[in-house]
Structure 1
Amino acid sequence: MTTDVRVLRQADWDEWYENLLRAFGGVAESSEERALWNVLTEYDRSLGVWDGESCVGTAGAFSFRVTVPGGASVPAAGITAVSVAATHRRRGILTAMMRRQLDDIRTWGEPLAVLTASEPAIYGRFGYGIGTLQISAEIDTDRVRLSVPPGTDDVRLRYAVPAEVLDACEAVYARLVPQRPGMLARRSGWEGLGLLDSEDQRGGASPLQCVVAERDGEVVGYTRFRVKPEWGPTGHNGAVMMVDVEGLDPAVRAALWRFLFDIDLTSTLRTRGRPVDEAWQHMVSDIRRCQLRMKDSLHVRVVDVGAALEARTYQAPVDVVFEVEDSFCPWNEGRWRLTGDAKGAVCARTEDAPDLALSVRELGAAYLGGVSLASLAAGGAVRELRGGALAEASTAFTSVVAPWLPHGF
């Protein structure tokens, strides 16, 4: 094999990006979306694989900060734009890029790597575990009623031009980031993701619309959505296509959901990528008519076991020794003693007898608190070596709210 893995140069971006698009089907993006990803690309953290003059592999790593249990914002490499040309399969190109990335991430001092997977089966062998899930729904708003909490009627809603209220919406989002594990602190430029509105993204629906929620003149929530008008023999059958909805308290969120339920000439509300524990599921009159679907979302890779486990807090006191297997990143292998509680934690190498044995993949899956170590053990992926250690660790790792990735990358 004569391929060469190297850091992406700005002059090579167009060819690099075209190779990525071709690997995902070859459908051209809008100029607006392409320009945004060009601006967001971090060249010194992106890799290209070249066979002579041709780009045959791509991979990038955004410099993110992700919320972990306890509210800390932890540096994480957001792995993105991973592709290998169909002409160069089974030559070790993906493995070479994954190897280079994780070595780089370690030198950058970032304890975590995260990604969303087009094919979830690919990344487990590189130590990534599924750390968050998400739900989508198609709600029959003609037949499903929504009960709202006290204070909902005190929230004022108004239509707004999405770009004109972007700063206010981003301020709401920023206040929510520390409250839920898995959320990403948005760096400058990323706010543009919420305004993308090309024809191919609409699916026959309207241009992007926005409604903000206010209390005492302050924006305390927002929703962005599209409406797809449809008519049948019996009348209207339109759909609301929710893009996002955020609010600072239950009444604000309920007011926004109620608004989406009640838009004239629509009978369906379609949502995607929402938290699995979102409160609207307990406010609807008939959950079966909401057609819930669940899928994987954020895949988590622990790059530095000690630093990662020390960065978060724990729901209950914990003192366990993990025997960690990590053949792809051998610096993680061995025994680690974790002691911690709701105030903080220490994780260091030890020669003490292990209490639990697992691979780094399971550690990543459980890291954000949404996947139970006990459930992983029930599937044979975690072994209990000291009686009671599994229950202790499972309880400690749990998050009060389900982890959630608010948007892709």
Structure 2
Amino acid sequence: MTTDLRVLRTDEWDRWFESMLLAFGRTGEGEGEERRSFWQAVIDPERAVGLWDGEECVGATAMHAFRMTVPGGSLVSTGGFGMVSVATTHRRRGLLRAMMRYQLDRLRKWNEPLAVVTATEPGIYGRFGFGPAVEELWFDIDSSRVRVAEVAGEDALVLRRARPEDSVVRELCERLYAEDVPRRPGMLERMPGWERLPFLDDPRQRPGRSSLQCVMASRDGEPVGFVTYRIEPRPGANGIVHLSALHAADPAAHAALWRLLFDVDLTSTVHAHGRPVDDPLQYLVSDVRRSNMQLRDALYLRLVDVGAALAARTYRAPVDVVLDVSDAFCPWNERRWLLRGDRQGATCVRTERPADLAMTARDLATVYLGGVQMAALARVGRVRELTAGTLDATSLAFGSDAAPWLPHGF
């Protein structure tokens, strides 16, 4: 079998997109014109590749040009792998490996030190050096029995319904989202075109649910939060409120917007997925057991350039350590790295100094955003301490003041 791996041409878009949908068990008819036009607008053909067997597209991947927040608040150029797929007829022939090899080499050439992917199957990407770096909470809350505690300052808030199709409302929501971006590692700056994503509302994508609803919270006339959601009617008073997005500038707005979801008439469940693992809601609910929280994997990260990536973030405590990194898939990373840093900044360079800690690039990626402790990986043998006393100090330094969060997929 001979396949042609090449950058996507604009006249190949339809066949490329349809092949991806089919690989994910969907068809173009079910995708809807709104979502299709969105993807066509945000995918840069120069950063997408297709695998072709004659005239048939048998593999696809897009590489979104993102900027992602890292610990310390800096935005770092990040390649976002999306639409990754191989036709069922062409599995187990090394085609996915070829596409990953091609795209990671291009990211290195473009000096983009990070790559991320949201994996439909978590076992796929570890062999390419991606580690699970962001987790998320899912809630299924019995809102008929669970209450949200009041927070000081709520009495000064005004909650009003807003029209999500209104351009002014969208601008206000995007401003509040942008204010959150530097606060949490893992968050993605909205690149041009991506501001449409939270407001896509094709009826075919929400069977049995209402159109998108929006409520704004303001204080002294200034917006301080918003929530978007959909309602799924059920017989009796057993409807479900499905949270889409919630961003708030302060604790009072956060609590008030959550409480609003609990108070929607004729509903008894609030369903929310993709929330940060330190979401304050879990400390506001009256009954955590009836909130049915589940922890799930959300984002897989790859250090394309270990030195540049480690130098791009800050560290919670002073660190001066040599990391011996093994990386079979991106061998340019496979060496000893001298990392020095603190809350003000960091440097990371190649060194011949003896190593203090040893790990794979995948495990280094897992701890990079601060959501997983390096010491936890050491307890299962995935980080080795070579110099006594360096593990605990380095694990502390790699932590983050806020849990990493990916508010939306790509």
Fold in common (TM above 0.5) = yes
In the alignment, which residue of structure 2 is the partner of 1:42?
Answer: 44
In the alignment, which residue of structure 2 is the partner of 1:170?
Answer: 174
Q: Distance in 1 between matches of 2:354 and 2:279?
A: 41
Shift of 1:328: 0.6
Are the aligned partners of 2:315 and 2:342 in contact in 1 as well (CA < 8 Å)?
A: yes
Q: Distance in 2 between matches of 1:125 and 1:98?
A: 10
1:167-246 pair list within 5 angstroms: 167-231=171-235, 235-246=236-247
Aligned-partner SS, 2:296: strand
Shift of 1:200: 3.0
User: What one-letter code is carried by the residue in structure 2 that aligns with 1:379?
Assistant: V
Number of residue-to-residue matches in the alignment: 406
Q: Distance in 2 between matches of 1:260 and 1:352?
A: 56
Are the aligned partners of 1:157 and 1:212 in contact in 2 as well (CA < 8 Å)?
A: yes
In the alignment, which residue of structure 1 is the partner of 2:329?
Answer: 328
1:112-151 pair list within 5 angstroms: 112-151=114-153
Q: What does the per-residue CA deviation read over 1:152-190, in whole Å, with 9 as the maximum and x for residues that have no partner?
A: 121111001102110110011111100000000001211
Q: Distance in 2 between matches of 1:91 and 1:280?
A: 46
Structure 1, unaligned runs of 5 or more: none
Q: Distance in 1 between matches of 2:249 and 2:55?
A: 51
Q: Structure 1 residue 398 and structure 2 residue 402: aligned?
A: no
In the alignment, which residue of structure 2 is the partner of 1:25?
Answer: 25
Aligned-partner SS, 1:156: strand
Are the aligned partners of 1:239 and 1:266 in contact in 2 as well (CA < 8 Å)?
A: yes
1:2-401 pair list within 5 angstroms: 2-27=2-27, 28-164=30-166, 165-231=169-235, 235-401=236-402
Q: What does the per-residue CA deviation read over 1:344-369, in whole Å, with 9 as the maximum and x for residues that have no partner?
A: 00100000111110000001100000
Percentage identity across paired residues of the two chains: 55
Q: Distance in 2 between matches of 1:146 and 1:220?
A: 19
Q: Distance in 2 between matches of 1:350 and 1:246?
A: 43
User: What one-letter code is carried by the residue in structure 2 that aligns with 1:17?
Assistant: F
Moved more, 107-116 or 374-383: 374-383
Q: Distance in 2 between matches of 1:239 and 1:26?
A: 25
Q: Distance in 2 between matches of 1:280 and 1:189?
A: 31
Q: Distance in 1 between matches of 2:266 and 2:336?
A: 61
User: What one-letter code is carried by the residue in structure 1 that aligns with 2:378?
Assistant: A
User: What one-letter code is carried by the residue in structure 2 that aligns with 1:80?
Assistant: G
Aligned-partner SS, 2:108: helix
Are the aligned partners of 1:153 and 1:255 in contact in 2 as well (CA < 8 Å)?
A: no
The alignment's C-alpha RMSD in Å is: 0.8
Are the aligned partners of 1:135 and 1:293 in contact in 2 as well (CA < 8 Å)?
A: yes
Q: Distance in 2 between matches of 1:212 and 1:382?
A: 46
Q: Distance in 1 between matches of 2:346 and 2:119?
A: 30
Shift of 1:239: 1.2
Shift of 1:201: 2.5
Q: Distance in 1 between matches of 2:339 and 2:155?
A: 47
Shift of 1:148: 2.1
Q: Which portions of structure 1, spanning 4 or more consecutive aligned residues, are displaced by more than 4 angstroms?
A: none
Q: Distance in 2 between matches of 1:11 and 1:379?
A: 50
Q: Distance in 2 between matches of 1:294 and 1:9?
A: 40
Aligned-partner SS, 2:165: helix
Q: Distance in 2 between matches of 1:238 and 1:53?
A: 48
TM-score by length of 2: 0.98
Q: What does the per-residue CA deviation read over 1:74-121, in whole Å, with 9 as the maximum and x for residues that have no partner?
A: 000011110001111111100100000100000011000001001110
Aligned-partner SS, 1:298: strand
Are the aligned partners of 2:131 and 2:363 in contact in 1 as well (CA < 8 Å)?
A: yes
Q: Distance in 2 between matches of 1:123 and 1:36?
A: 26
Are the aligned partners of 2:237 and 2:265 in contact in 1 as well (CA < 8 Å)?
A: no
Aligned-partner SS, 1:314: coil
Aligned-partner SS, 1:94: helix
Shift of 1:26: 2.6
Q: Distance in 2 between matches of 1:13 and 1:55?
A: 10
Are the aligned partners of 2:139 and 2:273 in contact in 1 as well (CA < 8 Å)?
A: yes
Q: Distance in 2 between matches of 1:172 and 1:252?
A: 12
Are the aligned partners of 2:31 and 2:205 in contact in 1 as well (CA < 8 Å)?
A: no
Are the aligned partners of 2:159 and 2:218 in contact in 1 as well (CA < 8 Å)?
A: yes
Aligned-partner SS, 2:31: coil
Structure 2, unaligned runs of 5 or more: none
Q: What does the per-residue CA deviation read over 1:271-307, in whole Å, with 9 as the maximum and x for residues that have no partner?
A: 0110010001000111000111111111000000110
Q: What does the per-residue CA deviation read over 1:298-332, in whole Å, with 9 as the maximum and x for residues that have no partner?
A: 10000001100000000000111000000110100
